């Protein structure tokens, strides 16, 4: 880009030189010296006038335009009008241009600061909402302890007297509902903590083979009751440094989902781990109904549940996968899904093998 000033001075300089040169040639070659002299004086006046008017134009037009351009460039970078380069001009159009630019800039500045205030307010409201939900869920947890305790005593019968079949059925139903409520409150609390960045993690040595064995052991009663086959496919015998209980929680959520979506008798669930460079890649694979491509993008969002006629009517709140995502990310890893409808689904999650900076319990 060539600055306007340079073009102006170049054009006027060359024209002034040509005019003066022509005057000089005329003077040197003139038959009558007086005429030559008049022409030379005339040429000198015109050339000087051209140069002087260029200086005037440059001062009153190009300099303010240059300053305005610099102010605009600075504004586009900082969104602030600092009036660092005041513009003094008598040219009406440039004056109006500068005034309009200043008032436009002030409006933009005001809009930006109002927007910032809104964003701060919204953040504050979000934080208060999350803290309120956290407090409420915490308060709901406390009364559940005596409810579950007394219901269990009623179920045992020897402690509080015999119940007839109808009464026992009712007590069993209360017990199951109280357990569901307890799980829901726990999940909401965990999600809130994840949102607030307050979920704490523990780091310890974890023997992967032992961890997978204990998970299989925990789930065998429920899978065998439903005639579903659960196996471990793990060739890696390594130790990692991470949060055992949280990894267990992710596996539990994924396996519970897999159990819900495979057919009994034919259902097959495989869990395992693969040793990668800096990460360990865990997986939970099933041969259930599968998840469409569109739904795969949504299922990690809070409260998202797929609504299809193929999926069994099931309980749950749609928080399980959001929690899995929050935990794996909190541990420095990630989670993703690969699935084909009517074939099956595999959830993968990667966790760093070595210590990382986490929101620690200590």
Ligand X SMILES: Nc1ncnc2c1ncn2[C@@H]1O[C@H](COP(=O)(O)OP(=O)(O)OP(=O)(O)O)[C@@H](O)[C@H]1O
Q: Which chain residues interact with Mg ion by CB under 5 A?
A: 257, 320
211 or 258: CB nearest Mg ion: 258
258 near ligand X, judged by CB under 6 A: yes
Token reading at 288: 């259930």
Q: Which does 261 bind (CB under 5 to 8 A by kind): Mg ion, ligand X, none?
A: ligand X
Q: Which does 305 bind (CB under 5 to 8 A by kind): ligand X, Mg ion, none?
A: ligand X
Quickly count: other Cβ atoms within 10 Å of residue 208's Cβ. Answer: 20
Q: How far is the CB of 247 from ligand X (least distance, A)?
A: 16
| Beta strand 334-340 pairing with 204-207 | unpaired
186 near ligand X, judged by CB under 6 A: no
268 near ligand X, judged by CB under 6 A: no
Q: Which does 195 bind (CB under 5 to 8 A by kind): Mg ion, ligand X, none?
A: none
Using CA atoms, how far apart are residues 163 and 160, in angstroms rounded to an integer?
9
255 near ligand X, judged by CB under 6 A: no
Q: Which stretch binds ligand X (CB under 6 A): 138-146, 204-212, 255-263, 272-280?
A: 255-263
Quickly count: other Cβ atoms within 10 Å of residue 213's Cβ. Answer: 13
Using CA atoms, how far apart are residues 52 and 42, in angstroms rounded to an integer?
15
Q: How far is the CB of 257 from Mg ion (least distance, A)?
A: 4
Q: Which stretch binds ligand X (CB under 6 A): 3-11, 117-125, 224-232, 250-258?
A: 250-258
206 or 319: CB nearest Mg ion: 319
Q: How far is the CB of 165 from Mg ion (least distance, A)?
A: 33
Q: How far is the CB of 223 from ligand X (least distance, A)?
A: 14
261 or 279: CB nearest ligand X: 261
Of the candidates 19, 247, 271, 291, which one interacts with ligand X according to CB under 6 A? 291
95 or 304: CB nearest Mg ion: 304
Q: How far is the CB of 303 from ligand X (least distance, A)?
A: 8
Of the candidates 44, 214, 296, 305, which one interacts with ligand X according to CB under 6 A? 305
Question: What's the 3-state SS for the chain?
Answer: CCCHHHHHHHHHHHHHHHHHHHHHHHHHHCCCHHHHHHHHHHHHHHHHHHHHHHHHHHHHHHHHHHHHHHHHHHHHHHCCCCCCCCCCCCCHHHHHHHHHHHHHHHHHHHHHHHHHHHHHHHHHHHHHHHHHHHHHHHHHHHHHHHHHHHHHHHHHCCCCCCCCHHHHHHHHHHHHHHHHHHHHHHHHHHHHHHHHCCCCECCEEEEHHHHHHHHHHHHHHHHHHCCCEEEEEECCCCEEEECHHHHHHHHHHHHHHHHHHCCCCCCEEEEEEEECCCEEEEEEEECCCCCCHHHHCCCCCCCCCCCCCCCCCCCCCCCHHHHHHHHHHHCCCEEEEEEECCCEEEEEEEEECCCCCCCECC
Query: Which one, of 111, 76, 68, 120, lies nearest residue 93 by Cα?
Result: 68
Q: Which residue is nearest to ligand X (CB)?
A: 320
Q: How far is the CB of 209 from ligand X (least distance, A)?
A: 24
Number of residues forming the site for ligand X (CB under 6 A): 22
316 near ligand X, judged by CB under 6 A: yes
**Cβ distance 212 to 272 under 8 Å?**
yes
195 or 286: CB nearest ligand X: 286
Q: How far is the CB of 250 from ligand X (least distance, A)?
A: 11
Of the candidates 286, 335, 348, 358, which one interacts with ligand X according to CB under 6 A? 286
289 near ligand X, judged by CB under 6 A: yes
46 near ligand X, judged by CB under 6 A: no
272 or 318: CB nearest ligand X: 318
> What is the binding site for ligand X (CB under 6 A)?
187, 253, 257-258, 261, 286, 288-289, 291, 299, 304-306, 311, 316-322, 345
């Amino acid at each position: 880009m060539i600055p306007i000033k340079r073009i102006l001075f170049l054009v006027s300089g060359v024209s002034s030189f040509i005019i003066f040169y022509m005057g000089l040639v005329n003077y040197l070659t003139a038959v009558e010296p007086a005429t030559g002299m008049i022409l030379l004086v005339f040429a000198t006046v015109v050339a000087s006038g051209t140069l002087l008017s260029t200086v005037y134009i440059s001062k009153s037009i190009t300099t303010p335009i240059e300053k305005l351009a610099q102010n605009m460039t600075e504004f586009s970078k900082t969104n602030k009008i600092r009036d660092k380069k005041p513009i003094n001009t008598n040219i009406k159009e440039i004056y109006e241009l500068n005034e309009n630019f200043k008032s436009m800039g002030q409006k933009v500045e005001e809009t930006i600061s109002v927007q910032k205030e809104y964003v701060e307010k919204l953040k504050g409201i979000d934080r208060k909402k999350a803290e309120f939900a956290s407090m409420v869920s915490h308060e709901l947890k406390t009364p559940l302890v005596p409810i579950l305790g007394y219901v269990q005593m009623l179920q045992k019968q020897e402690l509080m007297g015999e119940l007839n079949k109808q009464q026992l059925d009712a007590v069993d139903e209360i017990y199951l509902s109280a357990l569901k409520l307890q799980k829901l409150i726990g999940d909401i609390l965990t999600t809130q903590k994840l949102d607030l960045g307050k979920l704490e993690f523990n780091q310890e040595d974890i023997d992967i083979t032992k961890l997978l064995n204990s998970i299989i052991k925990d789930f065998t009663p429920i899978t065998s009751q439903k005639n579903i086959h659960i196996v471990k496919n793990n060739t890696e015998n390594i130790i990692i440094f991470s949060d055992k209980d949280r990894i267990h929680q992710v596996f539990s959520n994924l396996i519970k989902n897999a159990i819900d979506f495979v057919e009994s008798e034919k259902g097959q669930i495989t869990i395992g781990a693969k040793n990668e460079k800096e990460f360990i890649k865990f997986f939970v694979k099933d041969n259930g109904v599968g998840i469409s491509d569109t739904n795969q993008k949504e299922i990690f969002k809070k409260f998202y549940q797929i609504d299809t006629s193929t999926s069994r009517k099931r309980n749950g709140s749609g928080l399980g996968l959001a929690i899995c995502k929050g935990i794996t990310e909190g541990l420095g890893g990630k989670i993703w899904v690969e699935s084909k409808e009517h074939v099956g689904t595999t959830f993968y999650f990667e966790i760093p093998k070595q210590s990382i900076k986490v929101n620690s319990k200590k």
